[in-house]
Every structure is written in structure tokens, then in C-alpha cells.
Amino acid sequence: MQNETENRPEGFVRVSQALSGKGHPHAPLWLEVAARTSQEAADALGVSLGQIAKSVVFKRKSDDAAVLVITSGDQRVDEAKLKSHTGPLGRADADYVKARTGFSIGGVSPLGFAPVDGHAAPLLFVDRELFRFDTIWAAAGHPNGVFKMTPAELEQLTGAPVIDVVQVSE
């Protein structure tokens, strides 16, 4: 793992700059393997699946706005619970995610957005399930990039509300 940004993809550099600009104490790490899924990230970092702060993007039906939920890698978002905060939602495909966040699927970071074509940054929510852990890891703008933080730091870095949006196990 390396943490320099020289010769790194633009999304990774953008997240590095956003973290630095907010005074975050941990620079993003560049993994030697791509971690496009929460499980791949957990395996690469040697942490539990739940410690991966995965990014899930939806499309709000009323205005086509992007909705980004940061939740624990071992959880699934309950769209009905999320809908109470956003209104009706639809699925977001890879092109939509890239246009609305500036990141490709597998590297969507909770900060450092660069939406194209004048789109607003995504409406962002942090799921409270992340607070089960002392340390969590989020994507840093590329499938090979990650950064470490506490759940409270995630809340502070993003300014996003913490809500309960995970499916209840039966």
C-alpha cells in the first residue's frame, strides 16, 4: 500500500485534496489490488466486512437528483426507509453514477465530488450502522483507493445526516 498521489487517477487526487483541505489526519492509501466490492476491500485491508463504508447511489424520481448512502459493507439499504427521507427512488446505472459523482462504481467516495454537466453534488446520508465500529474505510475516488476514519469523522467530513436505512434481518 502506498499513499502518495503522484501519477494517480484524477478521482484519487481529488479525494486526497478534499481530505487534506478538511484537515483529515489520514491520507488515502493506494491498494495494489482493485477493491470494487466491499468484500474485496475488506480482504485487501484485513478488516471486517462491516468496516467498509460502502457507497450506494440511487436516482430520486421527482427531480433525477443523485442520492448517496454510505452504509456498512455487511448491510443492505432498505429503499422504503430511505424513501421516507428522499421520496421515490430508482436505480442508478454506471453512467449516471459517473456523471453525478465524478467517480466510477467501485470508487465512489463520500467527498471530492466532481459532477459533470452542471449537476448538483449528491444528496448524502450516513447510515448509523457504521457507528458499530471504531475505524471504517471508504473509497477514495478509485477502486484501488481507500481512506481510514472513524464514523464520527465521516459525519463531520461530509456534514451528512446520520439515519437508519438498513434492511432488518429476518
Domain count, the chain: 1
Residue with cell 483529515: 24
**In this predicted structure, what is the pLDDT of residue 58?**
97
Q: Is residue 159 part of a domain?
A: yes
**In this predicted structure, what is the pLDDT of residue 170?**
61
**In this predicted structure, what is the pLDDT of residue 7?**
83
**In this predicted structure, what is the pLDDT of residue 163?**
97
**In this predicted structure, what is the pLDDT of residue 4?**
62
Total-model pTM: 0.93
pLDDT in tens, the chain (170 residues): 555 666 899 999 999 999 999 999 999 999 999 999 999 999 999 999 999 999 999 999 999 999 999 999 999 999 999 999 999 999 999 999 999 999 999 999 999 999 888 888 999 999 999 999 999 999 999 999 999 999 999 999 999 999 999 998 76
Query: Judging by DSSP bridges, how do beta strands 145-149 and 89-91 pair with one another?
Result: unpaired
Instruction: Characterise 19 by phi-psi region: left (phi > 0), alpha (psi -120 to 50), beta (else).
Output: alpha
Any idea what the CATH number is for the domain that residue 126 is in?
A: 3.90.960.10
Q: Is residue 1 part of a domain?
A: no
Which grid coordinates are listed for 48?
A: 471486517
- Structural domain including 146 reads 10-163
